[in-house]
Amino acid sequence: MIVISLYDYTGVAVRPWAEAGYECFCYDIQHEGFTTEQVNSGSIHYCKADLHDPESFKRLKKAFKDEPVKFGMGFPVCTDMAVSGAAWFKAKAEKDPEFQAKAVKYAIWCSHLFEVLEVPYFIENPISVLSTKWRKPDYKFHPYEYGGYIPDSQAEHPTYPEYIAPKDAYSKNTCLWVGKGFKMPPKKPVDCESFGASRQHAKLGGKSLKTKNIRSATPRGFAKAIFKSNQSSQ
């Protein structure tokens, strides 16, 4: 059984699936070629791919069209779409009038791939122009609303404990565009550490790739909730 995750560098989103025995493929341009991590009875394959190239999607459609893909997820780059960066939109448009149209197109490509493969899926982005330049999101959530899915013994973030609050106890208004029978999981909220500016946003104000990866890391509780809600129908 296969799960596909696009624009996924950390693999956090697919880890619950891998732990349950699924074969997971994470595609991102930051990966070094093709590497595999064994996770319990499953695996996570980290695959280098330029998802801004339509040929990449053609190859993915061909590679997975006859495979047992059970779920899909996409985290397209939000830099040119998130309203939090609206102050820079004018300058970006002066350099490239099509910069936003391109960014929106990449998100739609993710959706189209999963529609073609006919699997439940979600596309994730913060509050962004996708709502007006594509369609309204189907759901919205904050990470702390799913923090209850994280056991007390795993409260501290395994990779970024100094940046991400235990049990994802932070706010970040996040949107989902879904399809093909996706099931939104019930919430299990924890007390929010801070509303508005979370600790990672307060500490990570730069433009480096590292800070962007941390700011965009998939909330662990949300990843666990998505698995619990959607794997039962597979």
Q: For 68-123, write each residue's pLDDT tens digit.
A: 999 999 999 886 566 766 667 777 878 877 888 888 999 999 999 999 999 999 99
Q: In the 8-state DSSP scheme, what is residue 141?
A: E
Distances (CA, A) of 23 to 17, 38, 44: 8, 9, 6
User: With 80 as the cut, is the pLDDT of residue 197 above it?
Assistant: no
Confidence (pLDDT) at 207: 61
CATH code of 150's domain: 3.40.50.150
Asked if 63 and 2 touch (Cβ cutoff 8 Å), the reply is: no
The answer on pLDDT for 52 being more than 90 is yes
- 69-74 and 42-48 beta bridge pairing: unpaired
C-alpha torsion sign, points 47, 51, 53, 58: positive
The predicted structure's pLDDT at residue 196: 61
Over range 24-52, report the average pLDDT.
Answer: 96
Burial of 205 (0-12, 13-18, 19+ CB in 10 A): exposed
Chain-centre distance of CA 122, in angstroms?
A: 9
Output the pTM of the full model. 0.90
Please give the pLDDT value at position 74.
97
Q: What is the DSSP string of 190-214?
A: ---SBSSS-HHHHH--S--HHHHHH
pLDDT at 204 over 60: no
Tens of pLDDT, residue by residue over 130-158, are 988 999 999 999 999 999 999 999 999 99
Looking at the structure of the chain, the number of domains it has is: 1
- Percentage of the chain exceeding pLDDT 90: 70
Domain of residue 118: give its range.
Answer: 2-233
pLDDT reported for residue 107 = 95
